[in-house]
Structure formats: structure tokens, C-alpha cells
A = this chain, B = another copy of it.
Amino acid sequence: MRTLHLVVSVLFLSTCFAAAQMPSTLTLMPVPAKIQLGAGQLVVDQLFTVALTGAKDARLDTGIPGFLDQLSRQTGMPLNKDSGDSTKATLVIRCENAGRKVQELGEDESYTLEVTAARATLTGPTPLGVLHGLQTLLQLVEPTPAGFAVPVLTIHDEPRFAWRGLLIDVCRHFMPLDVMKRNLDGMAALKLNVLHWHLSDDEGFRVESKKFPKLHEMGSQGQYYTQAEIREFIGYARDRGIRVVPEFEMPGHSRSIVVGYPELASQPGPYPPGRVARDATALDVTQEKTYKFLDKLIGEMAGLFPDSYFHIGGDEVNDKPWNSNPKIQEFIRAHGMKDNRDLQAYFNKSLEKIVSKHGKIMMGWDEVLHPDLPKTVVVQSWRGQESLATAAKEGYRGLLSNGYYLDLMWPAARHYAVDPMSGAAATLTPEEAKRILGGEACMWAEYITPETIDSRVWPRLAAIAERFWSPPDVKDPQSMYLRLDEVSWRLGWLGLTHESNYVPMLHRLAGTEDIRALRVLADAVEPTKDYTRSEVFPQPPVKTVPMNRLSDAARPESAVARRFAELVGTYIESGYKDSAAEAQIRAWCVKWQGNHPTVKPLLERSFLLTEDQPLSEDLATLSATGLQALDAIGKNQSLPEAWRAEQLAVVQRSMQPRANVVVMVAPSIQKLIEAASPQTASHP
């Protein structure tokens, strides 16, 4: 019976899709390289079993039960965990080779998933491919009229880039290991394969050092990972096909180092412990003892972190501490250097020797680029795409992070449009282009806490993950958003809190159960963008600023504002004829206009919300304006320029950060204003 089904379904295999045209019934993310969709489906019920054949690898021994746990969680079906007979199992996995002892950059991550009505077969040349294939399978399981099922199909998949990373900063706000782990689970679900762990910065040194215990004892405010915890965490990452690359910042961003070891600083100190504003600490790189210290420290950390790559930071070295130390300036002159840039290059060259000596390949932010820099160093470009192309031309391998800063609160589509191979990189020769290894999204932690990090990383990171994995022609933002919305709630099964923390945070703000009106407001706003957020700096004995305002609860990208913008776009593109769109626009405007009187008492009652009153007022005003504009458009009237100017002032004000929040429906209202009051030719 099963054999017959197999034959029949193969005969039906008819539709072959290029990746960019993935069938709309599938919500896979990232889009696989190749999909052939057949007819029929494989039912996934409680008799589901898995059989493993081929090479053995410890990652599959944890990965397959992990897959079954996840399948059980997302379907709500208890499943049998015993491994199945390969002639009868629902899912037969063939892993062709065991993986490397330490996961390496560029290992084959491809897989083939064949689903018939009788069974699924997953083949991978390595355990990494198998792990990715299992994640694809999890995304394919959907409830159908006949039960949970996976469509009959064949997927051949492989990543576009070998380095697909996420940086998490645990210095500005410390992130406990459970927070880190659930984010690793999310990364694995999206086929990301590098966690770049930003472990030291001015605000904290987050690793236990046995050689230099004053690093974590004095430089961490008690918030650090023990070496045992780090080993366990790296194992957790490895089980999910994720490499862990540590970063220790030097010579700048190094205050947490000199708190315990002031003799390494360019200025005498003292450096009292505790969080500080971004200051101008730099190691004294002219003295021998600095290098002795770093040799020992890097030796210790190289033993702790098995990955071949080791990130030394190297960004934003402030001139002040070097300039004001005559001994350092004398060193620069004596060694025939031009300036501090040259001194940093001298440092990097020396550092590279230390890092190499300990068996690692050095990485640094793009400031490390300098003619003296050894070509083995991998350059991470954060200041612009040009530096990535420049580095590739000069022979360096590189990663793109510019355009992928999650802390800037951009919409997913803006990150999605950034391609590591576009811009200056588009002109590279094939050989140069190969040096671009991929990219990394960055989650800097000035304004996030364990409570809010997930909502800042997810779901937007999924769009970036697709950019790194899927073929370059997969770039339609509309398709991306459809799938992003699906991925977002599915990520909740991993324990990620980006969805589940929203309502509790609104309850806290209001201090009450009925938050409906507050939610209408919160849904229509976003945290302010780029580097416009301001925060009162904490005064002792208070150490940290609470992150418990509307700007922390509001999502980086408002789905309501996005859908409202789509409606307005549809309406305008229809030549104002789409009456269904118009009706929906009206309904939203009426709702927002009426919301202010309802939400006002809440805003007045809670000190956490008082600051948001002008935003709510402006949302109501903008909505009234939108309704006026619709009326005028409907009557084919043109509203006067004075009206236009007045309304545009409200739009502009609404997009300025107030209480670190912007009213995100304002740009759509602006379009309606402009449509209702077209400028005359004499006012270009």
C-alpha cells in the first residue's frame, strides 16, 4: 500500500518551482534553493517514527529527539520517541558522513528532503544538512482536513553564504543563559549558523577568567558566565549546528578590563567598577606587559572557545587616551608612525601573531583595515558596504553587518533589501566575491533586557536569515512578510517571548486588566529609530535604568502600521477607486480617533504612560485628518494649502521621537494628505 502510494505520487510530481516562486501554500523561511511540489500529502500522526541510517554523530542523537519534542509541542500530539525501523519509519534520515569534531566554516550544509504520501526521506552529506532539513520539515507540518500533514514534494537545499550570524551583546545588559539558549533555538529554526558572542566591552567582562580573575570579579558587576557554563552552552549551540565565535574588545571598549588591571590602561585611572557612559578607555599598546597579559588571556580563551575564529573587536578607538599620554605619543614618533591609526595597526599586527600562535584566525571590525594588516584577518563591516568591498579587493575575507543592526529598529523589509553582494560588492571579480563569507545581524544591548531582547531580535531576524540562506532572487518583501508573520508565532513554540511578553508589559504599564485601549495605541506606534533614543543616565546607588516604558513594549515594526500602509497604498494605486480599501482605512481612522478619550484616563493614572499622552492625541488628530482627506478625495475636492501645511506639521511631529516612540501610522496619513491637497506647480 505504501509502495503504491509512492509510485502514484511520483507520477504526480509535476510542478517545479524556482525558489523565488515558491508555491504560496508553503510558508517556508528561509526559502529553499529548489522545490518540486507534487500532489497529495504525508499524514503526520501519533504513529510518526524516525529511523536514522548512515553515519553516527552525537548531534543527531540529541537533534532527532529534539525534533520530535518540537513536533510534539507544535502539534500538541504526544509522540513515541523510540527510534523506528528504517523499513517502516515515517521519516528515514540518511546522514552520509559524520561531521568535524569542531564545526567548521564551509562544511557542507546541504540536504535533500523527499516527501511522498508514504514517507519522508531526508538525506544530508553531513549532520549539519540533516539538522537544517529537520527544521524545514517542522515548518512543513500543517493541520489539514485529514490531519497534520506535509505536502508531497522534493526539496534540494543549500545555503548561499557559509557564515550566517547573529551578534548578541551581553555587556550593556547581561543575558542569562536561558535567554541565550532560546535565541539559539530560534537561530537554528532559521538555519543561522554563527553566534557572535560580544563578551567584553566598557560595561562588562562577562567570562570567568582563571588566569586574570579580577576581569570577571571586578569588571562584571557579578554578571558573568563561568567556564563550565560556557562549555555547556557551546555544546548546546553545536547540537543545533551553530558555531560560537567569542569577541573580546581591544584596544578600545576595554574599560571592564582596566577596572581590575589599571596598569594596562593608557591613563592611570582608577577605574571604579559599575556601568558607565561610553567612555574613552584604551589599552596602552606601547608597553610590553599589555602584550604579555593578552597572550595569556587569549591563550586561556582560545582553549575555552573551540571555534577557529576569534574576534578582537577593534572598533571605535577613541583618540583621547592615547593623545593625552606623552609616552604613547613619543612611541608613535619613535617608531616612525604617522598617527594613532598607525599605532592601532601596529597593535593589530602584534595581536594577530598572538591569536595565530593560539591556533585561531583573527577577526575585527572594519576599523582594523590598514595596509599593515595580515591578509588572514577577517573583516566585519559595520560602517558601510564599501569597506567590505575594499577589504575583498585587498584580499581580506569579510562579513557584512552594516544594514543588519537590529537595535536601530528598522522594518524587516529594510534589512531584507540589504544584500552582502550589492553596492560596492557588485563590482568584485568572482575571486574577490568569494571572500565575502556572509553576514551577521547585530543585537547591541544598550536598550534591551532579558525581557525585551526577543521582541527586538524576532521576528525581524528571520528576514535577515533568509537573505543569508536563500538564492539572491528571493527578494519580494510582500512574500517575505507573509512568511515572517507565520514564522513569528511558530517561534513561540521554542519559548521565545517576542509575542507572549507584549500583553503582560502593557498590563504593567496600565496597572490594570483592561488594556484594550492601550493596546490600540501601542499597536500603532514603534520605538524610535537609529540612534535617537535617549535615556537618563543612572546615578548611584541605582545601577540600571528600567526598560519598562511604552518604547520597550512597542514592537520595532508595527504590523498594524504596516497593514495600514498597504491599505493606503492599494487605495491610492487604484486611483481612489478601491472602496473596500477606503472602508478599511476609514474604520481604522475612526477607531484611532475614538481611542484617545478611552485611553486618556489610563495614561493619566500611570507615571509610565503620562509621557505618551501627546502621542495618543496626535494619533487621534492624524486619524481625523485622514478622514477629512478621504472625504475630500471622495468628493473630488482639493483641500487648501493652509490645511495641508497644518496637517503635515502634525505628521512631522508624530515621527519625531517623543518618549522614545514614534506614531508609525503618520507616513500613511501623509500620503492621504498629499492626495487630498495636491501641491500646485508653483510650489514644487
Residues of chain A touching chain B, judged by Cβ–Cβ distance below 8 Å, are: 46-47, 74-78, 80, 142-148, 451, 485-486, 488-490, 492-493, 499-500, 503-505, 507-513, 541-544, 546-548, 552, 604-610
Contact = CB atoms under 8 A, between A and B. Distances in A.
Contacts of A74: 508
Contact of A489 (B144, B493, B513, B544): B513
A546 B75 contact: yes
21 contacts: A46-B542, A46-B546, A74-B508, A75-B546, A76-B546, A76-B547, A77-B546, A77-B548, A78-B544, A80-B541, A143-B509, A143-B511, A143-B608, A143-B609, A144-B605, A145-B604, A145-B610, A147-B607, A492-B504, A499-B503, A500-B504
Contacts of A77: 546, 548
Contact of A513 (B488, B504, B541): B488
Given A485-B513, A500-B500, A607 B144 contact: yes
Nearest to A509: B143
Contacts of A546: 46, 75-78
Nearest to A500: B500
A14 B80 CA distance: 65
A508 B605 contact: no
B544 A144 contact: no
B604 A75 contact: no
Contacts of A451: 76
B512 A486 contact: yes
Closest 5 CB pairs of A and B: A76-B548, A143-B606, A143-B511, A485-B513, A78-B544
A166 B53 CA distance: 48
Contacts of A145: 604-607, 610
Contacts of A511: 142-143
A507 B142 CA distance: 11
Given A76-B508, A143-B510, 11 more contacts: A47-B542, A75-B548, A76-B505, A76-B547, A76-B552, A78-B544, A80-B543, A143-B607, A145-B610, A488-B513, A492-B504
Contacts of A492: 504, 507
A77 B449 CA distance: 11
Contacts of A610: 145
Which residue among A80, A547, A548 has the maximum number of chain B CB atoms within 10 Å of its CB?
A: A548
A552 B548 CA distance: 33
Contacts of A499: 503-504
Contacts of A547: 76
A47 B490 CA distance: 40
Nearest to A489: B507
Contacts of A146: 607
A202 to B, nearest CB: 19
Contact of A47 (B488, B508, B512, B541): B541
Nearest to A490: B507
A548 B143 CA distance: 11
A146 B552 CA distance: 20
A144 B508 contact: no
A608 B144 CA distance: 8
A606 B146 CA distance: 8
Contacts of A509: 143
Contacts of A142: 511
Contact of A504 (B493, B548, B605): B493
A79 to B, nearest CB: 9
Contacts of A606: 143-145
A587 to B, nearest CB: 14
A77 B543 CA distance: 11
Contacts of A548: 75-77
Nearest to A483: B513
Nearest to A545: B78
A412 B258 CA distance: 60
Nearest to A488: B513
A80 B274 CA distance: 13
A515 B92 CA distance: 34
A75 B508 contact: yes
A606 B485 CA distance: 19
Contacts of A504: 489, 492-493, 499-500
A509 to B, nearest CB: 7
Given A142-B511, A489-B504, A513-B486, A78 B607 contact: no
Nearest to A76: B548
Contacts of A513: 485-486, 488-489
A122 to B, nearest CB: 22
Contacts of A543: 78, 80
Residue among A77, A143, A489 having the largest count of chain B Cβ atoms under 10 Å: A143
A533 to B, nearest CB: 17
